[in-house]
Each structure stands twice: as C-alpha cells, then as structure tokens.
C-alpha cells in the first residue's frame, strides 16, 4: 500500500498532491491526484472521486477543473485517478478511443487487454483501499463524478454500488455505450462480442435491469458535438423516468464538451455533493 509523492502544492489553504504507486489490479505504476482541504487533527472528510474522459490523465481535471476553492469551502477531499494503465508493455491502439487513455472503467476479458486493463477493479476497490490508508477520508461519505467516459464510469459504479456512494453526478456522460460508436468499439474489444456482458457497464441497461442509486445530477452542453451520436442524454432521461430513478438533467445552453464547460459547473457539483455527503 506504499505510495510515492510526485508533486505537492499548497492551494486554498489545503494540499494538492500527485502520487504514484504500483497497482495490483493493472500490474503497472498508476498515478493519481488528491486535494485535501485544511482540516482539524484527526478529522475525517467526505471524499469525491472524479473519473476522467477519453485521452485524459489525472492532470486534466487537476489543472483545469477549478474544484479546489469549492472543496476547501465545503471540506471535501477530491481524488482523480488516471483513465487507463500505461507503459511500453501495455496493449494500445492507434485510435484515441481505445487503449491507453481509454480504459472505459471495465475489467477486460479479451486478449491482449486482460493483463492490465482492469480499471473497474482498480477504481472500485484498490484505489479506495490505498487512498483511505493514506488520507483522512470518511468511507461513510463517498460521492463520485466524472466526465464523458468518466461520467459513464461514475454512473455505472454508483448504480452497482449504491450502498457505497451517497451522491453521484456526471458531466456529459456516455450514458448508453452499448448503442453508440465509442462504447460499442470499447466494450466489444475489451469484453467480447456477447452484448449481454456489456449491460453491467451501461447506465441505461443497468436501469432497465432494475439498478437504482441516489439522485443523479447530470450536466451536458447543448453545443456538445457528441450530444446525440455518443452521449444520448434523452435515452438516460427516458430510462430514469421509467425506472423511477431520481435525475436532475441540466442542458446548459451554448456549452461544449471541454473543460471550459466542466470548470463552469464544477463548483456547483462539489457543493451539491457536499450537501448530500454531510447531510
């Protein structure tokens, strides 16, 4: 459970760090960032896990997400892992939407991906154990969020682990990956051609199969170039309505898919999580 501190800065009265460790789940070194707000000795704090999108590492949200002021105000730890295993001996693909930078938060069952592409186990189990051993997180006050591919990961984790996560939100999530090009390529490659095995990694399918979780908060920009083809917010809305799943879906006028969009609403998401994690 050892970690190496790569970088550390003081920010908004707290500490922003970047850390590295050798992962059992992926068989590779993994890097993640943690912001810990100022707090009293022995005090445990709520934690918000954030899963990044295609092509991203921990650095994208750490450098562009603008979450620290809100986390400091509300007393929330913010953890951002990488989006895939990486390394010279790790399988990859020429496309940006598969391989390194595109782990899709699943445990691969197909060669050559199986040795390292175990992001579901990494995020849902190993990283939580690691962070809780080194940082003052309250395991009874966990929320999760994410962007695009990471929004897909956040929603599916919350639906499959409703007793763990007390709050869940997403920015422009891939809500129905079984029915869109990004998802069909990734799920088919990592999990094989039997589409029944994809359902536990598809938010809409999980809702259809009876899964529920605490209220979802989802923001998506109306000028997002992936709005209809890849993200399918209408499918998410319809599935939630049919399942009785509480959902606040906000279509934000004029915003796109970038961190300009994410950073505009990040503080509101942090506040929203804090209200539920401290309530």
Residues marked as catalytic: 148, 224, 257
CA pair distance 31, 59, nearest whole angstrom? 9
Extract the tokens encoding 83: 């989006």
Closest to 120 measured CA to CA, from 130, 105, 131: 105
Report the alpha-carbon distance of residue 228 to residue 130 in Å, rounded: 38
């Amino acid at each position: 459970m050892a970690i190496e501190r790569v970088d550390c800065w003081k920010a908004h009265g707290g500490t922003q760090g970047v850390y590295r460790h050798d992962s059992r789940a992926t068989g590779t070194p993994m890097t993640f960032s943690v912001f810990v707000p100022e707090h009293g000795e022995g005090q445990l704090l709520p934690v918000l896990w954030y899963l990044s999108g295609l092509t991203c590492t921990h650095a994208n949200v750490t450098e562009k997400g603008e979450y620290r002021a809100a986390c400091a105000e509300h007393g929330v730890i913010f953890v951002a892992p990488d989006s895939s295993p990486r390394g010279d001996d790790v399988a990859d693909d020429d496309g940006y939407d598969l391989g390194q930078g595109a782990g899709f938060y699943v445990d691969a069952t197909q060669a050559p991906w199986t040795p390292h592409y175990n992001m579901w186990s990494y995020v849902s189990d190993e990283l939580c154990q690691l962070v809780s051993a080194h940082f003052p997180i309250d395991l009874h006050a966990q929320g999760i969020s994410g962007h695009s591919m990471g929004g897909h990961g956040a929603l599916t984790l919350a639906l499959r682990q409703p007793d763990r996560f007390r709050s869940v939100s997403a920015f422009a999530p891939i809500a129905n990956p079984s029915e869109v090009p990004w998802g069909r390529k990734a799920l088919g490659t990592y999990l094989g051609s039997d589409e029944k095995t994809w359902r536990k990694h598809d938010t809409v399918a999980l809702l259809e199969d009876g899964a529920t979780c605490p209220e979802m908060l989802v923001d998506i920009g109306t000028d997002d170039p992936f709005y209809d083809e890849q993200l399918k917010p209408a499918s998410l809305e319809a599935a939630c309505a049919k399942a009785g799943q509480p959902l606040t879906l906000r279509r934000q006028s004029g915003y796109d898919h970038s961190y300009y969009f994410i950073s505009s609403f990040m503080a509101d998401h942090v506040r929203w999580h804090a209200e539920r994690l401290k309530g």
